Structure formats: structure tokens, C-alpha cells
Amino acid sequence: MIPFLDLKKINLQYKEEIEVAIARVLESGWYILGNEVASFEEEFAQYCGVKHCIGVANGLDALTLIIRAYGFGPGDEIIVPANTYIASILAISANGATPVLVEPDISTYNINPSLIEEKITERTKAILVVHLYGQSANMDPILEIAKKYNLKVIEDAAQAHGAVYGDKRAGSLGDAAGFSFYPSKNLGALGDGGAITTNDDELAEKLRALRNYGSHEKYKNLFKGVNSRLDEMQAAILRVKLKYLDKDNEKRRQIAKYYLNHIKNEKVILPIIESGNRLSHVWHLFVVRVENRERFQKYLKENGIQTIIHYPIPPHKQKAYEEWKHCSFSISEEIHKTVISLPISPVLALEHAKKIVKVVNKY
């Protein structure tokens, strides 16, 4: 069986360096918010091209705390793509604000900028863009709308470490961005982790307090904060893996290029790279669309290829969001009904990619 994702193989590439990093933390005697977190924050901010990085416990907290730091809550509306992973929407709900769903573009799977303006009301405070599957959202028109209506632009960059739009990296395209270092992400820890990036000095300072009980200074609490800190051990591991992120993303691009050039089956709709994004897509996932997906998935499995669906149920059809039960988002529904992700990773062997292409073409 060709596994969908071989995390063990990914991490064992850097075994020795990771062991050195873990030993360094063990011997430091300092396990929370120490040198490793501070150094990783500096290195990741520099990598993304922003002034500040604030390490937090996971990607959902990163997004939730950004919204909280801006003070958006009950009565406020935040625009978000209808086909995103549920965490982007949960971050809005967690603050008591209202998520306002906007349909994606059927070819890129990212939010369709031309459908945003009709959803803006006087309660709209922000647009939460998601760089889904590793491709940056179409930022120029989004930033223009945000400027016109004085809205914040928050990036969900959990699938887009290293992605580029124009000459800037994901994480530096809006007012603030949330990253996840969940093990399967392009930059993955050996456990949970997350970060916020921003150029906003004031926001960064507030977030540093919010993640740590609302305290800048021990036992002085300016805000009712939370405990959501990036772990010192995970930060040490992420520092190792950050050095190889561009190389790992390049390997993903090679696999994607091979699939795009060689999969030839009219039943299989290939992903589309928005023009200008050619070098910047980081292929967190390689998502194709097929009618009768269950049959296709079964066929691949019978031929030794493991696949995963990202994602089978649209957020507005989830039990957790019963209030949207009667809403219809036909493009998002079509996407959720037909998407299926083929294996892609920095350690997927070319022979495996070749086999996958052969099997897909024979379907």
C-alpha cells in the first residue's frame, strides 16, 4: 500500500538534528517560553517577512486569539470561505462573532473575491482568507475590498507555510496570520503547535500577553488571557525543520508537476494553479475532483493507493452548525461531494508517483 502520508519517514530524514534539539531542551532546564520559542519566533518571522511571530499552542488558537486581540465578538461579522476546514470558522464562533460564508472559486477552491462585497454589512469587521491546499488566495482584489470598507484581513495560513503571492510569503499578506504546526502540515511539529505572524506592533504585544494568561509581566494581568503557548520542545524541533521547509516544498512541487503533466483521464479534474502563482503553490494537498468519488477511492485502494477526502462534509452541513441547516452553497457542496486527495509529500518516491499516475489513468 502506498500510504497517503508517511510522517515517520518525513521526520526520520532529520533524526539526528531533531535528537540534538530535544537534548538541548532537556539539558537547558527551562521548558516553557525559553530560548527555543524566542529563537523560533525570530526565525519564522524572518522567513515569512514580518516583524513579529508569536508562538501559540495550535492553529485554531492562533486564529481565535487574533480575532480576540482585535476585539471582535458578538454582533460582529467575519467573512470566511464556505469550503474551508472547520477550524477557520470555529475561531470566529469561539469569539461569539458571526461567520459569514462566501462561496469559493470552483477552479482554485479559494474564496471568490467577486462574491465578497455583496456579503458586507455595517457589522462586517474582517475577511478571514484561507490559502487552501497550499495555494495563496487571490489577495489583490481582497485587499482592495478590505481597504474600501476598512476591514482587517486575517490569513489562515495553516496549509501554506512558504507559499508566495506576488513577492510576499503567506503570513505577510494581510494584517495578521495564523499558522498550524500539526504534524501533517508542510511545517509540522511532533505534536501540536501554532503561531501568529503580523507587522502590527500593538497587536503583537497584546497577543504575547493573551497567550500567557493575559500577562506581560509575571503575576500582573492586563487581559483575561488563556494558556496557549508554543511548547519549548516543539519550537526546538520546528527550528530544525524550518531550515528544510523550502527544500521539502520543492519536492512537493516536483510531485505535483509530475501529476499535472502525466495524469490524463477525462474523469479526473486536476487542480488549477492561478496564473502568477506557479512558483508559489506549496501543495499541502494534491486534490482532484471525480464524479462518483467513492467508487474511485475504492478502485485506488484495491490498487494499493491510500487517499483521503479533504473534506467530506461542508461546514454548513455539520451538526455543530445547525443554524445553517437550510442554507445552500452549491459550489462548496459540489466541491465537497467530488474532491479526493492523492498522496503527496516530500518523501513520496517518484516510482510511487509513477504508479499512482498509471493507476489513475487506467480508471
Ligand X SMILES: *Cc1c(COP(=O)(O)O)cnc(C)c1O
Residue nearest to ligand X (CB): 59
Total of chain residues touching ligand X, rule CB under 6 A: 15
Nearer to ligand X, 59 or 346 (CB): 59
Torsion angle of C-alpha atoms 272, 278, 283, 289, degrees rounded to 10: 10
Nearer to ligand X, 86 or 347 (CB): 86
Contacts of 286 (CB under 8 A, 6+ apart): 133, 255, 256, 259, 271, 341, 342, 343, 344
Reduced to 3 DSSP states, what percent helix, strand and coil does the chain have, rounded to the nearest 5? 40, 15, 40
261: three-class secondary structure by DSSP: helix
- For 147, how many CA atoms within 13 A lie in the half-sphere containing its CB? 7
Nearer to ligand X, 40 or 296 (CB): 40
CB of 136 to ligand X, least distance (A): 13
CB of 89 to ligand X, least distance (A): 9
Out of 5, 78, 92, 130, the residue judged to bind ligand X by CB under 6 A: 130
Q: What would the DSSP string read from start to end of 105-161?
A: PTTT-SB-GGGTGGG--TTEEEEEEE-GGG----HHHHHHHHHHHT-EEEEE-TT-T
Q: Rule CB under 6 A: is residue 58 a binding residue for ligand X?
A: yes
CB of 123 to ligand X, least distance (A): 24
CB of 88 to ligand X, least distance (A): 5
Q: Rule CB under 6 A: is residue 231 a binding residue for ligand X?
A: no
Looking at residues 60 to 99 of the shown chain, list those that interact with ligand X (rule: CB under 6 A).
Answer: 60, 84-85, 87-88
CA dist 348 → 5, 84, 223, 343, 351 (Å): 8, 26, 46, 8, 8
Looking at residues 134 to 193 of the shown chain, list those that interact with ligand X (rule: CB under 6 A).
Answer: 156, 158-159, 180, 182, 192
Contact in structure between 108 and 129 (CB atoms under 8 Å)? no
Nearer to ligand X, 339 or 360 (CB): 339
CB of 181 to ligand X, least distance (A): 7
CB of 1 to ligand X, least distance (A): 24
207: three-class secondary structure by DSSP: helix
Q: Is 185 a catalytic residue?
A: yes
Looking at residue 212, what DSSP letter applies? B
The catalytically annotated residue of 15, 147, 148, 185 is 185
Nearer to ligand X, 170 or 356 (CB): 170
Nearer to ligand X, 154 or 268 (CB): 154
Cell 497584546, residue located: 206
Q: Distance (Å, rounded) from C-alpha 143 to C-alpha 137?
A: 11
Residues that bind ligand X (CB under 6 A): 58-60, 84-85, 87-88, 130, 156, 158-159, 180, 182, 192, 194
Active-site residue set: 185
